[in-house]
Amino acid sequence: MKTYKFLLVAAGLLALVAAPALAYEEGTWVLRAGVGTVQPKSHSLTYSDEFDSFTIDVEDASSMTLTATYIYSQHWAFDVLAALPFEHDITATMDLGSGPVTAKVADTKQIPATFSLQYHFSPDSDFQPYAGLGLNWTTFSSTTLVPDFTDAEVGGLKIDDSFGVAAQLGGDWAVGENMVLNFDVRWFDIDADVFLVGPAFSTEEKIGTARIDPWLYSLNIGFYF
């Protein structure tokens, strides 16, 4: 539902724009900054042992997004995505017999650095739609268990970095001289190993692989030169 509302707001803003001419020439740089929301898929990880069984979810998060695009031919471009860290809550859901119970168990930060090759469908039009395919490197940091889930034996949670493919669709609309309004949708293949750390383990204990595979929806302002 959040996604649909975001799309409607973006479409409404774009409808108000009186677009001057827009045409990217070879050698053009497009720099954009805006706000993005990452929405991971549900039930990223299921864990079971002889005592417990639960599913882990990574919750939605928003942050500032930054992109740099280099137009190297009429239709083709290189694109790099960066961002300020997205801060996600991590929740676990257990069935205690009377029904499922969900609680926050940790939080983490991640940056989905992505390099893509873009194809621009209408390089001479006022509306510049594009599609892209590339590689994503997501780094996790500051992963912390909440105090209720730590003790003398289990002190923390670790999430490994992830490498995977990334796909995108988006478009630029001219809103002024050398300025564009941009809407961008991306999907990332993020599979990250998750470990418990602490004195109870000789090194680390892997509890599974979180298949996060999120969507990123962003609205940006850009400048080209």
**DSSP string over 147-180:** GGG--SS--EEEE--EEEEEEEEEEEEEEETTEE
Q: Measured between alpha carbons, how far is 161 from 159 in angstroms, rounded to an integer?
A: 7
Please name the residues in contact with 167: beta carbons below 8 A apart, sequence gap of 6 or more. Answer: 131, 132, 133, 134, 186, 187
Mean pLDDT along residues 133-158: 83
- Give the lowest-confidence range in 37-41, 190-194, 199-203, 206-210: 199-203
In the chain, which ranges are continuous DSSP H helix? 2-15
pLDDT of residue 197: 79
| H or E stretch at 41 | none
Q: Are 188 and 138 in contact (CB under 8 A)?
A: yes
Best CATH choice for the domain 2-224 from the list 3.40.50.12780, 3.30.420.10, 3.30.450.20, 2.40.160.20? 2.40.160.20
Mean pLDDT along residues 106-129: 93
Greater confidence (18 vs 171) lies with: 171
Residue carrying the six token digits 């991590």? 90
The Cα angle at residue 212 between residues 91 and 107, in degrees rounded to 5: 35
Mean pLDDT along residues 47-53: 69
- Give the lowest-confidence range in 137-141, 195-199, 219-223: 195-199
pLDDT of residue 18: 47
Greater confidence (107 vs 9) lies with: 107
